[in-house]
Amino acid sequence: MFIAILTAAFSAQAAEQKPAAKPDPAKGEMLYNMGDTARNVIACITCHGPAGNASLPENPKLSAQHGAYIHKQLVNFQTGERHNPIMEPIAKGMTEEDIRNVVAYLAKSSKPSPGAARNADTVELGRKIFRGGIAERSVPACAACHSANGAGIPAQFPRLAGQHQAYTEAQLLAFRSGARKNSEQMTQIVKRMSEEEIKAVADYVAGLK
């Protein structure tokens, strides 16, 4: 009896230690482009465009975004740490394997999607804040975490370069209002910025490459 229990315990431990399956970009591409209606997983391409190149300014570009960041956001939607009425049910219908496969597909197929700053009157203000922060209000330079060219740092901080102005602005405002809660660091920084400054930074990063 003791041996049987011990064997079962070892078997359970071995199962727990079994490495996760290697991400499959082909399966990720299928889910990204086709979705899975049985699980209420809408095709990602519907909102985020081919290979993550979203055309609608309200939807984020995923092209060239760091895989670890995309993974974190999907998990945050699953757990309720981040809220969005469209993304939450989709993320909750995805397995960990699904997420890793989609991330692998985007990493393999997407390329940086260029954007452009639109407001010449505020682009200099955006540049100053992004590169130097606002010292008198203890707002650090965005470049300190997101790098001087907006490429971000893999597994730590997201890529901002080329992102839609409207999306970046909306997320910064959501951090400031407390509607988005999955980065205490960003919440505290943006609380010290005005709407004009937020808009200027969002416009500036859209033009980074």
Residue list for the binding site for heme c: 44, 47-48, 87, 142, 145-146, 186
Backbone CA torsion sign across 10, 12, 14, 17? negative
Point out which residues pair with 139 in neighbouring strands: 134
Residues in the chain: 209
3-state secondary structure of 40: coil
Q: What is the rounded distance in angstroms from the CA atom of residue 67 to the CA atom of residue 128?
A: 29
Q: What is the rounded distance in angstroms from the CA atom of residue 175 to the CA atom of residue 181?
A: 6
Contacts of 30 (CB under 8 A, 6+ apart): none
Q: Which residues are annotated as a binding site?
A: 44, 47-48, 87, 142, 145-146, 186
Closest by Cα among 129, 141, 116, 136 to 197:
129
3-state secondary structure of 29: helix
DSSP 8-state secondary structure symbol assigned to residue 41: B
3-state secondary structure of 134: strand
Q: What is the rounded distance in angstroms from the CA atom of residue 92 to the CA atom of residue 74?
A: 8
